[in-house]
Amino acid sequence: MIRAFLFLWFAWQTLSPEAAQHMQAGIVADKQRQFDVAIAEFRKVTQLEPTFADGFISLGQTYMEKHDLASAVAPLKRALEANPDSAPAHQLLGYALLAQGYAAEAIPHLQRVGDKTGLGVAEIQTGQLPEAIANLQAALADRPNDPDLLYYLGRASGLLSKQSIDTLVAAYPDSPRAHQAMAENYFVLRQMPEAEKEYREALRLRPEILEVHLELGEVYAGAFQWAKAEEEFRAQTQLQPGNAEAAYRLGAALLEQGKAHEARAEFLRADKLLPDMPETLYSLGKAASLEGDATAAEKEWTRLLSIEKETSLAAQAHFGLAGLYRKQGKTEAAKHEMQEFQRLQGGANPQAPGK
Amino acid sequence: MLKTLLCISFIVATVLSAAALVASVFDVNLPLGLDFILQNSPTPQKYLIETMPGGVALLDYNNDGLLDIFLVNGGRITSPMQTPETFDRHDPRYWNRLYRQNKDGSFTDVTEQAGLANAGDGNYGMGVAVGDYDNDGYPDLFVTNYGKNILYHNNGDGTFSDVTAKAGVAGGGWSVSAGFFDYDNDGKLDLFVTRYMDWDTKHSKDCGGNYHTYCPPEEFPSTTSILYHNNGDGTFTDVSQRSGIAAKKGRALGVAFADYDEDGFTDIFVANDGMQQYLFHNNGNGTFTELGLEAGAALSEDGRRLSGMGVVFQDYDNDGRPDVIVTELPREIYGVYHNDGGGSFSHRSLETGLGVLSSGSSGWGVGLEDFDNDGWKDLFVAQGHVLDNVERIDPSLHYLELPLVAMNHNSRFERVDSGSATPVAGRGAAFGDLNNDGWQDVVMTYLGGHPQVFMNRGGKLHWLVVSLRGTRSNRDGFGARVKVNGQTRFATSAGSYASSSDKRLHYGLGAAEKAKVEIVWPSGIHQTLDDVHADQFLEVREPEKP
């Protein structure tokens, strides 16, 4: 900071009094957001001192503040002619070019100053996705949870994923993974018959392929074909007995069909594989309740409430407990649970998420 | 081309899935003379009323022993709506219609001669309720509308008179389902009218962005339903405020009645769309308390709100207590609220098998009737999504559906072939024995088409049909609890969606050739008949004295 101040002070010493006066006036006008006045003053500086880089930088910066990016480029380039090592000029020019879509031209300037955010965004536009991800991750380390950075990182990762899949499909169109990838694409587009067909083809080509049974089960679950969903989830659990999600999904498909006892066994298995997952605990309670095992249902829902207190699942657990206590004639306890349920739902007329 | 292929694949899938089911108990046909078409007039403006009609009633208006059919029509909607809104109800295409059944099973349109051609300017039709409100022995008609409702008094000579103004039951706004019942046990039928929401064509909008869909109910303010007390002199008094009914705003589509806590007073279940369901407990003093949440009959098993549309309030598991089944939208599964006794219900959609049968369907009219006379009430649901373009939004859902017919095997429902191969946008459904053969039939309405008549193929098992003749109680005997060989029905013509069913009480007796009939009349009188022969239509007159 002190070094920059000294640099500016020495630079200013070289200015003519008239140029320094215009420079000062430009700075004041810029602070007051009188951009046109500032631009006129900085322009006079550049006319009086055509080798004074800071005059051009100030002029370019003011154009950028005025959102006139196209006009900013020329003075910033002149600044770099005057001082090729000017970091502010490189950075501003990099952003001015990037904002206008000239990502490839922007990259060298951003590289000169090591601006990882700008570089990451520019590299997305030039298709240098691994580099973009690396730069954005580095930037995110400095500014965790920055929404713009998170967005661009997600975008870069998604594009890289798509690029890999496109390469896979183009190079090996009949491979099991290509069919799986195409199925996933159809699934996202909710084109379920096409998704089903591609998943089936992937399984035909490689019966032991991982995840496909799970994903195909989701296709059937989305189409309310619970028996078929059960079949696929069961196949996944046979391929991967240690997959907690597969056990959970199988339990859910069984529960939808009213097979509470079998569902409960799968939920128990899921809970053992991956303990204390709130969704599993809620479903365990529900299956136990359906089986008429009030003690177990109470235990699981209470367990859930020890982990989650303010979520929609917590609300559902309170609702379930209210029902249990009502059946047991524990009026006060039922009333309390219902009050908790209503509190979490935000009133007496609860709204369902995602209707 | 793509659309055609999709359509073909859907039909093929439908036919294939139907082929795998147990054979239907119904033959689906259109009897001679039943030429009604439900004109809902869909428009690009997506006026919400377009997707909501229309009801059907099965009644014997001329007391000739044959059920007749009354069908409620929508109306013509201009695009965009012109003011004043007339819905062109003077045009015969948009009339409600009364069809008299002939002895040969055909029907004759008697709308004009019965005096029912005038559906009222500015009325877009919704539903119908049937009850003998003046105890003269002839069933009267109450027609609900978007607009003003109409009460038609049955003159007993084949004609009806519009007595709305005198009776004071025009209401207003958007009414859908209605039902006659006697909430104060004074022997005169009162009237409950559901109102959907505070909506009118001027404040209509479409939703769904580029898809242009009908809006969900949350987009419009809720409103109150109406309870009318029958004064016994041909007039009614709006007691909605006094009774506590108006204290609960809702988005009411369906209504059904039964005495769920056996306190001798008929309670009300209201199916609300997109919110909690209402169970109005009759306090026995002219007031009601809404106890849905406390009783466990308001939300889904997971505490989620429901898109309640149709409702039936009968005993599906033969434990003698009335249970509730509410029809809803996909991904919600039809709500089965089992009456556990003690004023408490438990959600049993999954245990009864209805979860898997209904999670992808949209249900409207609904009935619990013993279609195979095995002694267990089976389920019929008219189905079809609200949105006429739902496939574009979610290809796994369908605007046109087959009805759900599910047989009750010891309290678990299993789908059978409905008998229909044509998916439709089903709405109203009414239940009764059209040909008096002892086997329950169904009439279902659907948007833009003729009604579908599901004629029961019959079989060898025995049956009994009980007609109630109230003396101290209301003449229809509505509100009576009638137990036959361990099966209980609650006398009503209400329930389903916007529709009214045969008031006679049908029981399948299985192999039994005799029956024990136990009646608890609304007056409190208990009556028992032993050794009643099966396979007959039995009229039971309420004793004058206890």
Give the pLDDT of chain A (355 residues) as one tens digit per residue: 444 444 455 566 678 999 999 999 999 999 999 999 999 999 999 999 999 999 999 999 999 999 999 999 999 999 999 999 999 999 999 999 999 999 999 999 999 999 999 999 999 999 999 999 999 999 999 998 899 999 999 999 999 988 888 899 899 999 999 999 999 988 988 888 999 999 999 999 999 898 899 999 999 999 999 999 999 999 999 999 999 999 999 999 999 999 999 999 999 999 999 999 999 999 999 999 999 999 999 999 999 999 999 999 999 999 999 999 999 999 999 999 999 999 998 754 444 333 3
Q: Which strands make up the sheet holding B335-341, listed edge to edge?
A: B311-314, B323-326, B335-341, B344-347
Tell me if residue B184 falls in helix, strand or coil.
coil
Q: Which two tokens stand for residue A323?
A: 């029902």
A13 part of contact set with chain B, CB < 8 Å = no
Is A260 within 8 Å of B299 when comparing Cβ atoms?
no
CA of A318: which chain B residue's CA is closest? Answer: B303
**For residue A191, what pLDDT is reported?**
85
Closest Cβ–Cβ partner in A257, A323, A326 for B356 = A257
Which tokens sit at B204?
Answer: 């209509």
B329: distance to nearest CA of chain A, Å?
10
Instruction: Determine the residue of chain A that is closest to B301 in CA distance.
Output: A320
A190 CB burial (10 A radius; 0-12, 13-18, 19+) = middle
For residue A288, give Cα distances in angstroms to A298, B79, B123.
Answer: 9, 54, 51
8 Å CB contact of B360 and A351: no
Residues B282/B244, Cβ–Cβ less than 8 Å: no
Contact flag B302-A319 (C-beta cutoff 8 Å): yes
How far off is chain A from B304, nearest CA to CA, in Å?
A: 5
Is A264 in CB contact (< 8 Å) with chain B? no
- DSSP letter at B542 equals P
Q: Is residue A40 packed enough to be buried (19+ CB in 10 Å), middle (13-18) or exposed (0-12)?
A: middle
Question: Does any CB of chain A come closer than 8 Å to the CB of residue B299?
Answer: yes
How many angstroms separate the Cα of B323 from the Cα of each of B160, B256, B316, B326? Answer: 35, 11, 7, 10
Q: Would an 8 Å CB–CB cutoff place B219 in contact with chain A?
A: no
- For the four alpha carbons of B416, B418, B421 and B424, in that order, the dihedral sign comes to negative
> What residue spans define the domains of chain A?
1-114, 116-171, 206-344
Q: Chain B residues with CB inside 8 Å of A284's CB?
A: none
Q: Are B529 and B540 in contact (CB under 8 A)?
A: yes
Compare CB distances from A319 to B294, B303, B330 and report the shortest one's residue.
B303
Cross-chain Cβ contact B305/A352 below 8 Å: yes
Q: Which residues of A touch B274 (CB under 8 A)?
A: 355
Is A286 in CB contact (< 8 Å) with chain B?
Answer: yes
Shortest alpha-carbon distance between residue A304 and chain B (Å): 14
Q: Are B378 and B409 in contact (CB under 8 A)?
A: no
**ipTM exceeding 0.90?**
no
Report pLDDT for A8.
56
Torsion over CA of B384, B388, B391 and B394, rounded to 10 degrees?
A: -80
Partner B contacted by A255 (CB < 8 A): yes
Q: What's the pLDDT score for residue A349?
A: 44
Q: Which CATH architecture has domain A206-344?
A: Alpha Horseshoe (1.25)
Instruction: State how far the Cα of B181 lies from the Cα of A303, in Å rounded to an integer.
Output: 47
Q: Which residues contact B261 (CB under 8 A, 6 or more apart)?
A: B267, B281, B342, B343
Nearest to A327 among B216, B344, B394 (CB): B344
| Of residues A258, A316, A355, nearest to B355 (C-beta) | A258
Q: Is B351's CB within 8 Å of A338's CB?
A: no
- B396/A338 CB distance under 8 A: no
The top-level CATH class assigned to A1-114 is mainly alpha
Q: Residue A150 is which amino acid? A: L
Do the chains contact at A257 and B294, CB–CB below 8 Å? no
Interchain proximity B396–A191, CB inside 8 Å: no
Q: How far is A159 from chain B (nearest CA, A)?
A: 26
CB-based contact B227:B168 (threshold 8 Å): no
DSSP single-letter state for residue B216: P
A343 contact B CB<8A? no
- Residues of chain B contacting residue A258, judged by C-beta atoms under 8 Å apart: 350-353, 355-356, 412
Domains A1-114 and A206-344 share a fold: yes
Predicted local distance difference test score (pLDDT) of residue B85: 86
* Rounded Cα–Cα distance for residues B447 and B427 (Å): 7
CB contact under 8 A, A224 and B305: no
- The answer to whether the CB atoms of A256 and B355 lie below 8 A apart is yes
- Please report, for residues A19, B277, B307, B338, B386, the alpha-carbon distance to residue B331 in angstroms, rounded to integers and kept in the order given: 73, 17, 10, 20, 14
- List Cβ neighbours of A33 (8 Å cut-off, separation of 6 or more): A65
Residue B198 DSSP symbol: S
Residues of chain A contacting residue B353, judged by C-beta atoms under 8 Å apart: 257-258
Q: Does A188 touch chain B (CB under 8 A)?
A: no
Q: Which amino acid is at B231?
A: N
pLDDT score, position B17: 45
Question: Cα(B204)–Cα(B43) distance, rounded to whole angstroms?
Answer: 12
Angle between helices A147-171 and A129-142 (to 10 degrees): 160
Q: What is the CB neighbour count within 10 angstroms for residue B165? A: 11
A176, A235, A181, A178: which is closest to A202 by C-alpha?
A176
Q: If we measure between CA atoms, which residue out of B403, B441, B400 comes closest to residue B420?
A: B403
* Among candidate residues B350, B308, B345, the one with its CA nearest the CA of residue B328: B308
Q: What is the pLDDT along chain B (546 residues), one digit of tens a residue?
A: 334 433 434 433 443 344 456 788 999 999 999 999 999 999 999 999 999 999 999 999 999 999 999 999 999 999 888 888 889 999 999 999 999 999 999 999 999 999 999 898 899 999 999 999 999 999 999 999 999 999 999 999 999 999 999 999 999 999 999 999 999 999 999 999 999 999 998 888 888 888 889 999 999 999 999 999 999 999 999 999 999 999 999 999 999 999 999 999 999 999 999 999 999 999 999 999 999 999 999 999 999 999 999 999 999 999 999 999 999 999 899 999 999 999 999 999 999 999 999 999 999 999 999 999 999 999 999 999 999 999 988 888 999 999 999 999 999 999 999 999 999 999 999 999 999 999 999 999 999 999 999 999 999 999 999 999 999 999 999 999 999 999 999 999 999 999 999 999 999 999 999 999 999 999 999 999 999 999 999 999 999 887
Tell me if chain A has a CB within 8 Å of the CB of B409: no
| B469, B542 contact by CB (below 8 A) | yes
Q: Are the Cβ atoms of B303 and A190 closer than 8 angstroms?
A: no
The reported pTM is: 0.84
Residue A102, exposed/middle/buried by CB under 10 A (0-12, 13-18, 19+)?
Answer: middle
* Nearest one of B463, B446, B347 to B400, comparing CA atoms: B446
Q: Is A355's CB within 8 Å of B216's CB?
A: yes
Of B276, B351, B396, the CB nearest to A224: B396
Residues of B in contact with A329 (CB under 8 A): 342
A249 has a chain B CB within 8 A of its CB: no
User: Which of B275, B350, B355 has the CB atom closest to A349's CB atom?
Assistant: B275
Answer yes or no: do B305 and A286 touch at CB < 8 A.
no
